[in-house]
Amino acid sequence: MSLMITTIRRLLPCALVVLAACAPLSPEPHYPVGRARLALPPGAWQDLGVADEAVATLPAPVGRIALQTRAVALRGAQQQLLAVLRVQTNRDNYPRESVYWPGDCPRQTGVLVEDATRGSPVRVDCLRLKRWAGSAQWLEKSEPDFAQWLEQHKLALDKPYSYLSYRYASTGGALVQVDALVDQRLLTPRVRNNEEFLLAGRPALQWGHDLRQAVRVSTGMMDGYLAIPPFPMAPPVP
């Protein structure tokens, strides 16, 4: 027995070294937002704060559901704005009776729209991507609430940038909405020929799919862990 204890003591420092080597050197930043825990990919993120609000639901006896919104911004090496994310979730995790969310997932010219519910009137699973969102005041006309919020906070990205939104709402009362305005250099690779130009939109769409999966998973987690996927492209070098 004493020989075994001595052996364990000798091996323990080695084991600690191995564990330390496996531990992440820079843990991902976490920000609470309502019932969720927002985890961001590596980068110079800036917390823009939280805001509380409530949204009306159907049927009428249900009334309103309390929500919380948190916004964060990604800065580049020269403090330039590269991305803005606005995440909205339920304020609490209490179960509810059947909830019917107003609104749907409308088609829009020039916008890639994926409606996983296929027009269901009782839940929402809507992904929308506009690759060239900085043209002809598209954001102000199509997403006036988000555009006004950006203006109020004096947040402006250099063009070109893309807009992506994902909204998930279930009949059990769960709601997660993510709005993202992203520098195109984080979503689109450099193109050198026509073939690469035709395929250039795939990374942005894949990022949207990864975000959708992360949101769906978060609604089933007790702590609402929501891991924002890394952008497909590295931040631009000045």
pLDDT cut 90: percent of the chain above it: 53
> Structural domain tally of the chain?
1
Distance of CA 11 to the CA centre of its chain: 43
| Predicted confidence (pLDDT) per residue in 98-148, tens digit | 777 766 788 999 999 999 988 777 789 999 999 999 887 899 999 999 999
Q: Residue length, the chain?
A: 238
Q: Is residue 88 part of a domain?
A: yes
Taking phi first (over 0 means left), then psi (-120 to 50 degrees means alpha), and beta for anything else, what does residue 114 get? beta
Q: Is residue 212 part of a domain?
A: yes
| Predicted confidence (pLDDT) per residue in 51-105, tens digit | 998 876 665 555 678 899 999 999 999 999 999 999 999 998 776 667 777 667 8
Candidates 77, 56, 79, 80; CA nearest to 66 is: 56
Q: Is residue 91 part of a domain?
A: yes
Q: Is residue 92 part of a domain?
A: yes
The residue range of the domain holding 189 is 28-227
Q: Is residue 192 part of a domain?
A: yes
Q: Across the chain, what does the average pLDDT equal? A: 81
Q: Is residue 146 part of a domain?
A: yes
Strand partners, 50: 70
Q: Is residue 18 part of a domain?
A: no
Q: Is residue 114 part of a domain?
A: yes
129 three-state secondary structure:
strand
Cβ-count burial 81-98 (b if 16+ within 10 Å, e if not):
bbbbbbbbbbeebeeeee
